[in-house]
Structure 1
Amino acid sequence: MKNLLQNTLALCLTLISLVTINAQQKRNMENTALLIIDVQNDYFPGGKMELNGAEQAGDNARKILDYFRKNNLPVVHIKHIALNEGADFFLPGTSGAEINSLVLPKDNEKVIIKHFPNSFRETDLLEYLQKNDIKNLVITGMMTDVCVDSTTRAAFDLGFKNTVVGDATATRNRELSGQTVRAAEVQKSFLAGISALGNLYAEIVNTADFLKRK
């Protein structure tokens, strides 16, 4: 009988602890939204602007998305449609411009169409975030050194606290003065830049660590 009471008490304490932890996790994520930037078909194998590691980054973005959905947290999908002269990917009405199936939006999730790298420029993103009392952003997407970087820096200027999930972003090789800069170096440099000066623009985390601490 004594053992039964001890086991019951231990179970109750465990349940209380789990409920407390879950409540704390929810408090930690209050006023937080997920931004998924430009995870679109043209960036994936067979697309018109294939990125290095797009599939892995997309799969990590999906894991973060699953967490937000499970916890009923707000999700914003950013979709780029290229209207500028000379554009050769993300063209209107093409399959390459569609959001990839890894992170396909649900009906209740906000989708914002943009035409510039900065997701806030000439869109209703800021209005939507303010209306929903969002203070913190978790940012994933593509390309690391273009739309992710410009959106993160703009978000900081607008007063948001940012977390970028580094391995849920991707880019490609670049050229400078006739020399190739490998995608991995571009990736590291831009993530290092936005996290410089004590995570000024954003804290950089990886998918596993983000999910572990939640």
Structure 2
Amino acid sequence: MKNIVRNTLILSLTLISLLTINAQKRNMENTALLIIDVQNDYFKGGAMTLSGAEEAAKKAQQVLEFFRKNNLPVVHIKHLATNEGATFFLPDTKGAEINSLVAPKNEEKIIIKHYPNSFRETDLLEYLQSKGIKNLVITGMMTDVCVESTTRAAFDFGFNNLIIGDATATRDRDLNGKVVKAEEVQRSFLAGISTLGGLYAKIANARDFIK
């Protein structure tokens, strides 16, 4: 009996999530895509290589192509490190450039930020409000830093958020001398930010979103 109730609950939550995603897709006129920090330093040979960066970027590219095909707003977030002691995303370096897989086109908005939260000391909020944006589809890197902080801030500003989970990436972390693998970090942070029925964000994968 407990198994039946549990399975019914899981199915119900899954259906609710899919319905929410489909509803967002039907209301794309006030939806924008955020691509956060998909920059060369996160890729092989870069100063801060992530686990699965190229795979995540290819998923972000698929979502980007969907938005371009449907003439929907795209915002590229580019981090430039200005803090003392920074070792990656340094201004005027190749590593700080947006990766070619999701390179902006001329008409697409580029936001330069210096903090994990893409809204902090940038014109992102004003830009989204000027376009009447209410829903955000979020991709990028790192899942547990800039993606998470931007998503939580977006929720506080009243946006409905959908993270494309397989279009995000992170790296191994250290906790009290023990390594927490990137895959575990990824799952944990996506699970946390989508808790309470997707309070801060719903989670989808690229294939389900664009089909």
Compute the TM-score of the two structures, normalised by the length of structure 2.
0.88
Question: Counterparts of 1:51-90 in structure 2 under 5 Å?
Answer: 51-90=50-89
The runs of at least 4 consecutive aligned structure 1 residues that moved more than 3 Å come to: 24-27
Question: Counterparts of 1:1-214 in structure 2 under 5 Å?
Answer: 27-212=26-211
Aligned-residue offset at 1:95? 0.2
Aligned-residue offset at 1:206? 0.4
Aligned to 2:116, what secondary structure does the other structure show?
A: coil
Name the aligned partner's letter for residue 125 of structure 1: L
Name the aligned partner's letter for residue 189 of structure 2: F
User: How has the CA–CA distance of structure 1 residues 197 and 25 changed in structure 2, closer, same or farther, with 3 Å as cutoff?
Assistant: closer
Aligned to 2:110, what secondary structure does the other structure show?
A: strand
Larger radius of gyration: 1
CA deviations 1:67-103 (Å, max 9, x no partner) are: 0000000000000000001100000000000000000
RMSD over equivalenced CA pairs, Å: 1.2
CA distance in 1 between counterparts of 2:25 and 2:156 reads 26
Aligned-residue offset at 1:62? 0.2
CA distance in 2 between counterparts of 1:202 and 1:155 reads 10
Aligned-residue offset at 1:27? 4.4
User: How has the CA–CA distance of structure 1 residues 25 and 202 changed in structure 2, closer, same or farther, with 3 Å as cutoff?
Assistant: closer
Aligned-residue offset at 1:28? 2.2
CA distance in 2 between counterparts of 1:123 and 1:28 reads 26
Aligned to 1:30, what secondary structure does the other structure show?
A: helix
Aligned-residue offset at 1:26? 7.1
CA deviations 1:32-63 (Å, max 9, x no partner) are: 00000000000000000000000000000000
- Structure 1 unaligned residues grouped into runs of 5+: 1-23
The size of the alignment, in residue pairs, is 189
CA distance in 2 between counterparts of 1:100 and 1:145 reads 20
Is contact 2:24-2:135 (8 Å) kept?
Answer: no
CA distance in 2 between counterparts of 1:137 and 1:67 reads 14
CA distance in 2 between counterparts of 1:49 and 1:25 reads 34
User: How has the CA–CA distance of structure 1 residues 161 and 73 changed in structure 2, closer, same or farther, with 3 Å as cutoff?
Assistant: same
Q: Percent identity?
A: 75
Name the aligned partner's letter for residue 173 of structure 1: D
Aligned-residue offset at 1:211? 1.1
Aligned to 1:130, what secondary structure does the other structure show?
A: helix
Aligned to 2:35, what secondary structure does the other structure show?
A: strand
Aligned to 1:76, what secondary structure does the other structure show?
A: strand
- Structure 2 unaligned residues grouped into runs of 5+: 1-22
Aligned counterpart, 1:6: none
